[in-house]
């Protein structure tokens, strides 16, 4: 008889979202996310504030996740947490909470790589890819094209040499005076605009590599010459055009990877995977190439604990547990967890 699926409580605190989820195997029973609004006024995450906010929020987020899942902690089989990469202070709050809980209820601990968890968020839900597949991981901190051979075997095909694409979205939105994080604001405005209105340069890089510093600078110079009223009147076209330039390298690299590796499955993950234009462009690309396209539900794109629990489920099934003495690692890379 098949053993029952494990009941796992997972904690994510790598940046500015405090999240706790409860999963039965690969199925989330709850996924509570508390986003820290305190950073909005600064146009970016203030690390010291982030760890303080995590400390303030984590207990009530955990209580809510347990309540929504309708379980008691004594039923849990394991406690999972994000080991890295992320902000050191933020990671430490989640890890310490996880360790305290594991110790007090006598359950094993599982440490999870945040980037691997973004990839494995594609395996939550019914329409999931099978291994191997190609995954574009696009967030505020990372831009990676990854060959996913197994849940624990991922090879980076290429990455950004400077800013991450989400960071570039956020910086462009800041120049436009839109809110933080700005990716969603640009996405919303771009829906009403013409992507060919203003030709911003698209970086030419080595295959599967990305660079956003050039386009960002050109955007800054473009805006400097314009009157605020002109910018306001042309906001949809400006957003659609800068979004086109930010996304084109991602679409081109995905196209090349699908052709070169002959793998008929492409997935996207991370906060920027919520972008409507990226989804529709990659969906059309896959349709043209006869490949299957996968993307997580919106709540599993940006940072969330359900993806940590999904990754932890694989580790639980293999009996891979963490020691209480295990450290968090702010620079942990894919394949090093
Ligand atoms: O994965 P995530 O929540 O955090 C990191 O691990 O970085 O990603 C956050 C990033 C931010 O840069 C945000 O602007 C971007 O995801 N983002 C978007 C959209 N929604 C969130 N970027 C473009 N379009 C969106 N709709
Ligand atoms: Zn993330």
Same domain flag for 115 and 225: no
CA 287, CA 269: separation in Å to the nearest integer? Answer: 19
Across the strands, what pairs with 268? 136
CATH number of the domain enclosing 52: 3.30.420.40
d(C-alpha 14, C-alpha 111), whole Å: 12
Are 168 and 94 part of one and the same domain? no
Q: What is the pLDDT of residue 206?
A: 87
Q: Could you tell me if 193 and 110 lie in one domain?
A: no
Domains held by the chain: number: 2
323 located within any domain: no
Query: Would you place residue 335 in the very low, low, confident or very high pLDDT band (cuts 50, 70, 90)?
Result: confident
**Lowest mean pLDDT: which of 8-12, 40-44, 56-60, 124-128?**
40-44
Residue 95 lies in a domain: yes
Q: Is the Cβ atom of 182 under 6 angstroms away from ligand 1?
A: yes
On whether both 264 and 153 belong to a single domain, the answer is yes
Q: Which atom of ligand 1 is nearest to the CA of 166?
A: 12
User: If you average pLDDT over residues 70-87, what whole number do you get?
Assistant: 97
Same domain, 281 and 141: yes
Q: Which domain holds residue 221?
A: 127-296
The answer to whether residue 336 scores a pLDDT higher than 80 is no
pLDDT above 90 for 3: no
Is there a single domain that holds both residue 94 and residue 131?
A: no
Please work out whether the CB of residue 274 comes within 6 Å of at least one atom of ligand 1.
yes
Within-domain flag for 334: no
Domain assignment of residue 328, yes or no: no
Ligand 1 center to 182 CA (angstroms): 8
Give residue 17 CA to ligand 2 midpoint distance, Å: 9
Helix and strand numbers (H, E) in the chain are: 10, 10
Residues 32 and 158 both lie in one domain: no
**Does any domain span residue 283?**
yes
Nearest-CA residue for atom 13 of ligand 1:
183
pLDDT of 78 > 90? The answer is yes
Left if phi > 0, otherwise alpha if psi is -120 to 50, otherwise beta: which for 64?
alpha
- 8 A C-beta contact, residue 82 and residue 19: no
Q: Which ligand is nearest to the CA of 212?
A: 1
Ligand with minimal distance to 173 CA? 1
Please check whether residue 332 lies inside any domain of the structure: no
The answer on 136 and 99 residing in a single domain is no
Give distance in angstroms: CA of 140 to centre of ligand 1. Answer: 5
Site to probe by mutation for ligand 1, drawn from 137, 243, 272 as the one with most ligand atoms within 8 Å of Cβ, is 272
Tell me the average pLDDT of the chain: 95
Quick check: is 109 in a domain? Answer: yes
> Over the stretch 115-155, which tens digit does the pLDDT of each residue have?
999 999 999 988 899 999 999 999 999 999 999 999 999 99
Among candidate residues 231, 254, 235, 150, the one with its CA nearest the CA of residue 190: 235
**pLDDT of amino acid 88:** 97
Q: Which atom of ligand 1 is nearest to the CA of 167?
A: 12
Same domain, 284 and 164: yes
pLDDT in tens, 220-233: 999 999 999 999 99
60: pLDDT strictly greater than 80: yes
Shared domain check, 111 and 210 = no
pLDDT of residue 202: 87
Q: 40 pLDDT exceeds 90?
A: no
Q: What is the pLDDT of residue 125?
A: 83
In this structure, the answer to whether residues 310 and 292 fall within a common structural domain is no
29, 68 contact by CB (below 8 A): yes
**What is the Cα–Cα distance from 97 to 34, expressed in whole angstroms?**
16
Report the pLDDT value the prediction gives residue 126, as an integer from 0 to 100: 82
181 with 263, same domain: the answer is yes
Residue 1 lies in a domain: no
User: Is the CB–ligand 1 distance for residue 19 below 6 Å?
Assistant: no
Q: What percent of the chain has pLDDT over 70?
A: 99
The CA dihedral of 156, 160, 162, 164, to the nearest 10 degrees, is: -100
Comparing 291 with 334, which gets the higher pLDDT? 291
272, 190 in Cβ contact below 8 A? no
Ligand 2 mean position, distance from CA 140 (Å): 7
Rounded to two decimals, what is the model's pTM? 0.95
Q: What is the pLDDT of residue 197?
A: 98
**250 and 278 Cβ atoms separated by less than 8 Å:** yes
pLDDT of 44 reads 81
Residue 333's closest CA among 141, 168, 150, 183? 141
The pLDDT score that the predictor gives to residue 241 is 98
Mean pLDDT of 24-49: 91
First to last CA, the chain: 31
pLDDT at 333 (0 to 100): 87
Q: Is the pLDDT of residue 84 over 90?
A: yes
Q: How confident is the model over 168-216, as pLDDT tens digits? A: 999 999 999 998 889 999 999 999 999 999 999 988 888 899 999 999 9
């Amino acid at each position: 008889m098949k053993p029952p699926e494990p009941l796992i409580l997972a904690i994510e605190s790598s940046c500015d979202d405090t999240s706790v989820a409860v999963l039965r195997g690969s199925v989330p029973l709850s996924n509570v996310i508390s986003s820290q609004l305190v950073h909005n006024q600064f146009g970016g995450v203030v690390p010291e504030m982030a760890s303080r906010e995590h400390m303030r929020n984590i207990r009530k987020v955990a209580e809510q996740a347990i309540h929504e899942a309708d379980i008691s902690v004594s039923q849990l089989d394991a406690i999972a947490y994000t080991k890295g990469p992320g902000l050191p202070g933020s990671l430490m709050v989640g890890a310490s909470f996880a360790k305290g809980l594991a110790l007090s209820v006598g359950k094993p601990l599982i440490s999870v790589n945040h980037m691997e968890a973004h990839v494995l968020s594609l395996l939550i839900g019914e329409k999931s890819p099978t291994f191997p597949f190609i995954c574009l991981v696009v967030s505020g901190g990372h831009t990676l094209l990854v060959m996913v051979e197994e849940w624990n075997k991922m090879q980076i095909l290429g990455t950004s040499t400077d800013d991450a694409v989400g960071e570039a979205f956020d910086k462009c939105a800041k120049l436009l005076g839109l809110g933080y994080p700005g990716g969603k604001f640009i996405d919303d405005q771009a829906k009403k605009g013409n992507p060919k209105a203003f030709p911003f340069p698209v970086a030419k890089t080595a295959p599967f590599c990305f660079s956003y510093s050039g386009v960002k600078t050109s955007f800054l110079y473009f805006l400097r010459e314009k009157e605020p009223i002109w910018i306001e009147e042309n906001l949809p076209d400006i957003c659609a055009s800068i979004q086109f330039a930010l996304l084109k390298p991602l679409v081109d690299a995905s196209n090349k990877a699908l052709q070169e590796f002959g793998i008929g499955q492409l997935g996207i993950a991370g906060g920027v995977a919520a972008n409507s234009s990226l989804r529709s462009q990659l969906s059309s690309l896959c349709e043209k190439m006869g490949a299957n396209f996968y993307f997580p539900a919106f709540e599993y794109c940006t940072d969330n604990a359900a993806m940590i629990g999904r990754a932890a489920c694989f580790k639980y099934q293999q009996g891979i547990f963490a020691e209480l003495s295990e450290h968090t690692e702010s620079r942990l890379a894919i394949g090093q967890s």
